[in-house]
Amino acid sequence: MSQRNTTTLTGYIVAAASLVPFFWLTLGDAYGRFMITFDPNSSAASYWLEPYTGHVTGLVCLAAPMVLAYFLKTIMANMLDSAREISSGVIHWLLLNGRKLLAFSVQKGHQIFNNLKQARAGQSGEQAGSDSTVTRPATRVLNMTIQSLFHLFLVAFVTWCAIALYLYFSQSRLLYYPEMPSRTVNATPDNIGLAYEELQLTSSDGVRLHGWYVPAQEQRGTVLFSHGNAGNIGHRLDSVRLFNRLGLNVLIYDYRGFGNSEGKTTEAGTYLDGQAAWTWLTEEKQIDPGQIVIFGRSLGAAIAADLASRYCAAAVILESAFTSVPDMAARLYPWLPVRLLSRFQYNNLDKVSRITSPLLIVHSRDDEIVPYEQGERLFEQAHEPKQFLELNGGHNDGFYLSRDHYAESLAEFLQWVLPDPDRE
């Protein structure tokens, strides 16, 4: 098992184990407050204080996973490079299991309403007789049930707000993964037998970026490659080799905060990074924009769409692209107001409508991260000329599992936008 999987699994275990006392105390609290109404020796103080004690304790136990994960992260920081993934795993577990927590609250509500029915039945009995031993428990159960509903709602609302607040301030960590599997660039085009030029690009705001320029032997054009939201350029050598075989020079670069690039990753910053790569090709290398293919995969498709909405290139290829970050967040966390909370947009649906270059949209029906329907929506929004390429396989391996079909389709598209007589 990889280091990342181990630390993330640890986070899940910590979260699940820490939630056990919350469920235990909440159930125990409900049962205890129900039974105390029938105890003739219970005092008024215990009657009023017991509900608050149980729910406050339950809320503390619900927060325990986050607190525990934070301390684990701090303690292990010098021992494990990816220790912060423990806390990410905890929060990820809480976010993905929000529905289960809400379902549990609904179940509790049903239990309380059942108690309410029993209380009403007891009140009906009071009208039939004057036994004081029936009147007192029935009335107290009714009052306790109303209080339980209010306290349960209060705990659920505070917890929901806490998770929403964490999500708001942790968006960059949920969107960018420069250290997965590693931020270190461990491989270069030398490893696949390709000559290359090491680049140091500078964005318009002064951030230095790292990249490679890999020339093709039989050149028909150049591809500007923007990769996804994890890892670095060293993890994209298979794609570099494919484009090289198709007769394209390749400029591939790391965004700020990724690989050997400096700075902190932001949405606006990634747009500036793409602009820096485009400027280097068109000004430093003096390459005609009509010979450049703008390519982006996953998050990189958003940077590619931004460039293509402002410049006319030979062609644009958007692979495994999403419509926007709020659309993706709403799919993952439908129980949170993510459209209001989102500090990132990457609105590809809007930008694709402004692309005038020939466009190829690539998507897999088996994509488990970005729904196939989002690729279809982008295609529908785009103007002609455009093509759609359907792959098989997951989000991160579709191009590899469909490599023969993928390579042939790319070759046909490139022959259309960048004709090469020797390849006809």
Q: Which of 358, 355, 364, 348 is nearest to 401 (CA)?
A: 364
Q: Which of 196, 181, 288, 306 is nearest to 241 (CA)?
A: 196
- Encoded amino acid at 306, one letter: D
131 is catalytic: no
Active-site annotation holder among 55, 151, 367, 402: 367
395 is catalytic: yes
Active-site annotation holder among 395, 397, 405, 420: 395
Are 300 and 227 a contacting pair, CB within 8 Å? yes
Active-site annotation holder among 82, 298, 342, 357: 298
422 is catalytic: no
Round the CA-based radius of gyration of the chain to a whole number and report it.
29
Where do we find the tokens 């729910």?
55
Where do we find the tokens 């409900």?
30
Are 203 and 214 a contacting pair, CB within 8 Å? no
Largest Cα–Cα distance of the chain, in whole Å? 103
Are 11 and 85 a contacting pair, CB within 8 Å? yes
Q: CA 146, CA 148: separation in Å to the nearest integer?
A: 5
Where do we find the tokens 């979260």?
15
Are 234 and 281 a contacting pair, CB within 8 Å? no
- Encoded amino acid at 6, one letter: T
Neighbours of 238 (CB within 10 A): 11
Q: Tell me the catalytic residues.
A: 298, 367, 395
